[in-house]
Structure 1
Amino acid sequence: MITATAVQPHPLSTLLSRHGLTAAAYLKRVADRHLALGFGAMAHRKEKVTRWTREGVTPEKSALLAIASLHDIDFADVDRYGWPGFLLLALDDDRTVLESPWTAAGTVTALTEVGGPVKDRRGFLIASTATLASALAQWLTAEPALAIGDRGRRVGAEAAALFDVRLDALRHLDDTVGAGQVYDAAVLELRLVADLLKNASYSEATGRRLFASAAEASRLAGWCAYDEGRHAAAERHFVASLRASSSAQDPTLGAVTLAFWANLRYNADDSHGALHLLDGALADRRKISSPRVKAMLHARAARAHSKAGEPLSAWRQVDAAFDAYAKADAPDADLASMYWINHGELHQVAASSALSLGEPRRALENFHAALTHADPYDTDREARGAVIYQVREAEAHLALGDVDAALDLGHQVIHTMGGIDSARTTSTLDELRGQLTGHRHVPAVADFLNYAA
């Protein structure tokens, strides 16, 4: 089992390293900017940097503004992200990931950049509509690139096989404990693969397998970043993953990445951007080797349409998801990453779509089917997902006026959440608490709200 954690250097230390500055030289620049902004003279002994980076000392507000001005960071972002979070805005160069050539070498550059030492904490999207369209077009039209390494030690297929085993363990850990620690482990895997791709020797077949491992590691890191509410980091990882799937010549892996990227987009209020990604993934579905992947794509399209308020399209996509799944073989014969796609999961998606479309009774029918079907949703294996779906089921009961049923589910949610590190589950519970606030006059509701605070 992988337990390593990526060590994150202080953002200011990384800034100094990138610009080749000593602590004294950097502080002199800050002091000059401090004076130019009208804040007066500022002492610039190099010991300040040590206190800021190693002793947990936060600079004075005027110094923070001088630092922000030095790096062209909006002053509003100083308060929005705090110290040292706002410095990440100066560190993350999205252009490398978004604009590198769609070649094997360009992919390695993007993977190296996205797997770097700085944890991007920005909670907003970085891909414009034009960027989405460009990435999708490049993925669809990029010429197959030879993935051959001719540097350093020779590695074979066994290296890629080991990455497959480690990534499978991380996927299941993510289900159980949430994204907090799994993100760091996924990034470590990505760095290992990227290092081999850049510095080792390997055959074309092994190179494709290594790029496939990189695609999955970056996809998993993107999913974990999204689960932590770090949308910019998630999109960087999804772009890098899509590139790696192209270099691996594996359209099925690319479709998986697009499905997870679409999930981020429609939950960030960009349903149409999500549908653009999904339409691209399904444009030539004959190239997708996994029926479960096709089912997932249709399910994600159903959610996007439901969030856009398009019931006819949403229910057509639900039907298409079940039709695709009907062609699936046993889980062991499918992609290892698709173990969680079953009838129960598709019923949960149908239920969530119904809830978004204002059909709470239809939602409850599907929530019930998800748990009672012969191929049910596994609440033990997927504790985080179970929390999210339980909250949605509680919301359906509230929509029908059944406060007691909603409270029962609320207590189940709190019990299930124990030990799960996930910003999404926390925010989902907050949404339920918000809906229950209108029933605070009921003693049982007031007790629950106090307990869940």
Structure 2
Amino acid sequence: MTDAIGVNIKRLRVERGWSQARLAREVCRLAGVNGEPIGRQEISRYETGKRTPREWLPFVAEALSVTVADLKASQKPVEAPLPTLADYLPDRDLLAPLSARTGRRIGIGTVDDLRQRVHGLRLADDVIAGGDLIRPALRELRSAVKLYRDGTHTSEVGRQLLSQIGELAQIAGWIASDAGQHGEAEQIYRLGISAARQAEDLTLAGNLAGSLAYQYSNTGREVEGITLARVALTDAGNDAPPKARALYLDRVAWAHTKAGEAQPAMRALGKASEALSEDTADTDSPTYLYWVDAGELQVMESRCYTELHRPLRAVPLLREVLKEYNATHTRELALYLSWLAVALADANEPEEAAVTAERVITLSSDVASERTAERVRVVLRRLEEFSDVPEVASLLAEGRATIQGGPSRGPAGP
């Protein structure tokens, strides 16, 4: 019966579109208690069966508009439901305010300052690789969390602080992943999902989940990548801005691509284009989605075709993208060229693939990015099939020497 209670609480909460924090607040309100003796973590424990509501059960039932008997009733076995983002929260609440706050009073001006620093870090990531940004990114994130936990603030200021922590976690997680620190990145993303959910910002939570799904897909955890990418899309709901839905669908497409599932990948790409077509000048999209446009969808489409070994489609798309690409974004330029090199090899054009691969190696040598380093290794492995071609043989020798020698500066630690 205890397990049934948790399953029913979670099912009914998700059906209402409520976060765990929202349900906790409703329970406290109905119980007429001061403060929040029941918080998000307590609801999570109920849902996972780690704890039974007991005296709180009538108030949980009332909040969910059902009877206590309904909560206790066993459900007929059904297909395992898709997880929710609540299943990806940290084991402990790293954002829980200190019981005795000693910090200063936080106002909206502090939130605005943090918002500017977060956006500055995001713009820096456009042109600076993760190995060079990881230390300042982690410093900013730790400072923001400490500010929220130590400081005193109104509930609205607290909510906006949590949103900024979520945004900061997204870019810091991305930077950590680029630096090759995948374990650190996963912890950061989970922290960000928690912050975004507590702020009731489902769009941001979906963005964070999609970023973690992308990392899963790229680090040998393809099945988990598909599941989490779908969770990000589902939990955000149909009310998410068009750009956000397009991005979530892009992540779904990539996850299926990395799993070698062409048909669902192509369907997701088509839906992503449809979602983006709904974006207009009047659409209110979060500023952190500034980079999501038709060009980025084209990049993802070309990468999917490359991974699925469809060079006749991949090569023209990549060439079109690279023709207009900003050369100051060195890391991304190296990454896109790496996919072109692989696509050219698949198209049986080894000489041109070698020329393109040489550009990838040259650009990557000055970038402290594990992403580009891994793509260099991928390109060289792909070209080994053509080692009897003089241009390729020369490149392979140069590439192996570069890899063995190592970069002049590697990713920095936390």
1:170 aligns with 2:132: no
Residues 222-241 of structure 1: matches in 2 within 5 Å? Answer: 222-241=173-192
Whether contact under 8 Å (1:275, 1:301) holds in the other structure is yes
AA in 1 matched with 2:341 = A
CA deviations 1:211-241 (Å, max 9, x no partner) are 1111122222221221122221111111111
Give yes or no for the alignment of 1:427 onto 2:374: yes
Quote the Cα distance in structure 2 between the aligned partners of 1:429 and 1:284. Answer: 36
Secondary structure of the residue aligned to 1:283 is helix
Please give the per-residue CA displacement for 1:68-90, whole angstroms capped at 9, x wherever unaligned: xxxxxxxxxxxxxxxxxxxxxxx
- 3-state DSSP of counterpart to 1:202: coil
Q: Which residue number corresponds to residue 335 of structure 2? A: 388
Q: Which residue of 1 aligns with 2:229?
A: 278
Residue identity opposite 2:137 in structure 1: A
What is the alpha-carbon distance in structure 1 between the residues aligned to residue 239 and residue 133 of structure 2? Answer: 28
C-alpha distance after superposition, 1:407-445 (max 9, x if no partner):
221122234335321011011111111222232322222
The match for 1:60 is none
Distance in 2, matches of 1:272 and 1:414, equals 31
The 2-side partners of 1:447 and 1:331 are apart by 54
Give the match for residue 14 of structure 1: none
**8 Å Cα contact 2:85-2:231 kept in structure 1:** no
Q: Which residue of 1 aligns with 2:317?
A: 366
Q: Distance in 2 between matches of 1:245 and 1:288?
A: 16
Q: Which amino acid aligns with 1:171?
A: R
Tell me the CA shift for residue 172 of structure 1: 2.0
Number of the residue aligned with 2:384: 437
Q: Does 1:410 align with 2:330?
A: no
Q: Distance in 1 between matches of 2:268 and 2:195?
A: 28
Q: Give, as a single letter, the amino acid of the residue that structure 1 aligns with 2:215.
A: L
1:450 to 388, 397, 401: 397
Letter paired with 1:362: R
Give the aligned residue type for 1:278.
A
* Greater shift in the superposed pair: 363-372 or 388-397: 363-372
Q: Distance in 2 between matches of 1:180 and 1:371?
A: 24
* Residue 248 (structure 2) aligns with: 297
Structural mapping, 1:194-213, within 5 Å: 194-213=145-164
2:207 touches 2:244 (CA, 8 Å); kept in 1? yes
1:110-137: CA deviations, max 9, x gaps? xxxxxxxxxxxxxxxxxxxx9x947544
Which residue of structure 2 lines up, in the alignment, with residue 255 of structure 1? 206
Aligned-pair identity (%): 26
* CA deviation after TM superposition for structure 1 residue 446, in Å: 2.4
Name the SS of the counterpart of 2:234 in structure 1.
coil
Structure 1 match to 2:346: 399
Gaps of 5+ in 2: 1-38, 45-79, 90-94, 402-414
| Structure 2 CA distance for partners of 1:146 and 1:267, relative to 1, 3 Å | closer
How far is the alpha carbon of 1:406 from its aligned partner? Answer: 0.7
Deviates more, 1:430-439 or 1:197-206: 430-439
Give, in angstroms, the shift of residue 397 of structure 1: 0.6
- Distance in 2, matches of 1:425 and 1:327, equals 33
Q: Distance between the aligned counterparts of 2:88 and 2:224, measured in 1?
A: 16
AA of the residue aligned to 2:133? V
- Per the alignment, residue 154 of structure 1 pairs with 105
- Matching of residues 69-218 of structure 1 within 5 Å: 102=40, 133=83, 135-137=85-87, 151-218=102-169
Q: 1:135 to 1:184 in 2, by over 3 A?
A: same
SS in 1 for 2:326: coil
Letter in 2 for 1:265: Y
Distance in 2 (CA, whole Å) between partners of 1:331 and 1:353 is 31
Shift of 1:146: 11
Q: Please report how far the alpha carbon of residue 275 of structure 1 lies from its aligned counterpart in structure 2 after TM superposition.
A: 1.9
The residue that corresponds to 2:33 in the other structure is none
For each residue in 1:141-179, what CA deviation from the matched residue of structure 2 results, as whole angstroms up to 9, or x when unmatched? Answer: xxxx99999653212111111111111121122221210
Q: Is residue 252–residue 287 contact of structure 1 (8 Å, CA) maintained in 2?
A: no
Deviations 1:343-393 (A, max 9, x none): 121111111111222211111132134346xxx6x4335321221121111
- Rounded Cα–Cα distance in structure 2 between residues aligned with 1:360 and 1:251: 37
CA–CA separation in structure 1 for the residues paired with 2:329 and 2:85: 31
Structure 1 residues 229 and 451: alpha-carbon distance in aligned structure 2, compared to 1, 3 A threshold: same
Aligned-partner residue type, residue 450 of structure 1: A
Shift of 1:303: 0.9
Partner of 1:7: none
Quote how far apart the aligned CAs of 1:331 are.
11
Query: How does the TM-score come out when normalised to structure 1?
Result: 0.65
Q: TM-score, length-normalised on structure 2?
A: 0.70
| Paired position in structure 2 for 1:117 | none
Decide whether aligned partners of structure 1 residues 396 and 252 sit closer, same or farther in structure 2, where only a CA change above 3 A counts. same
Deviation at 1:319, TM superposition (A): 0.5
**Is contact 1:211–1:247 with CA below 8 Å preserved after alignment?**
yes
Size of the alignment, in residue pairs?
Answer: 319
Look up the match of 2:5: none
Change (3 A) 1:382 1:259: farther
Give the counterpart letter for 2:338 in structure 1: V
Shift of the 146–445 alpha-carbon distance from structure 1 to 2, 3 Å rule, reads closer
Name the CA distance, whole Å, in 2 between partners of 1:434 and 1:330.
45
- Give the direction of change, closer, same or farther, for the CA distance of 1:298–1:400 in structure 2 (3 Å limit): same
CA-based RMSD: 2.9
- Distance in 1, Cα, partners of 2:376 & 2:103: 51
Quick one: structure 1 residues 331 and 353, their matched pair in 2 at CA, closer, same or farther if it must change by over 3 Å? Answer: farther
TM-aligned CA deviation for residue 285 of structure 1: 4.2
